Amino acid sequence: MLTRRQALAATALAALFVTPGARVQDRLNVIASFSILGDFVKNVGGDRVEVATLVGPNGNAHVYAPSPGDAKKVADAKLVFVNGLGFEGWLERLVKASGTKAPIVVATKGIKPLEPTRMPGSRSLTRKSTSPISATR
């Protein structure tokens, strides 16, 4: 049985595909934190979204340093997609600095990270991640 949230999301996605193709000026301005997530959003949203990414295909989101231009991109976005689980340690500061009112969609929301485990033959544990962006607005 679908939850209310799942039914609403399915309806919104169906509306995207039922409506005629969007003109460039009618596309939803979306920001994704990194290129793989941006590709996913482009594939789902098709010609109804204009997607820009903060960290490009050859970038490293773990050490990325946002620029004032990135704050402007986030401020102008109508929707922001992020990974969560601590992947974008810089994102919370960027969102605050941008002053955006756009909803933040956390791709990993509802996913429970694996507990740290000891690898056979290893003395150390793997590190458990936490998310600085824990929920959508």
99-137 pLDDT, tens digit each: 999 999 999 999 988 887 777 777 766 555 454 554 444
d(CA 107, CA 8): 17
Architecture of the domain made up of 21-106: 3-Layer(aba) Sandwich (3.40)
Contact predicate 133/88, CB 8 Å = yes
Q: Which residues contact 104 (CB under 8 A, 6 or more apart)?
A: 80, 82, 95, 133, 136, 137
The tens digit of pLDDT for each residue in 54-101 reads: 999 999 988 899 999 999 999 999 999 999 998 999 999 999 999 999
Residue predicted with more confidence, 45 or 134 = 45
Residue predicted with more confidence, 30 or 18 = 30
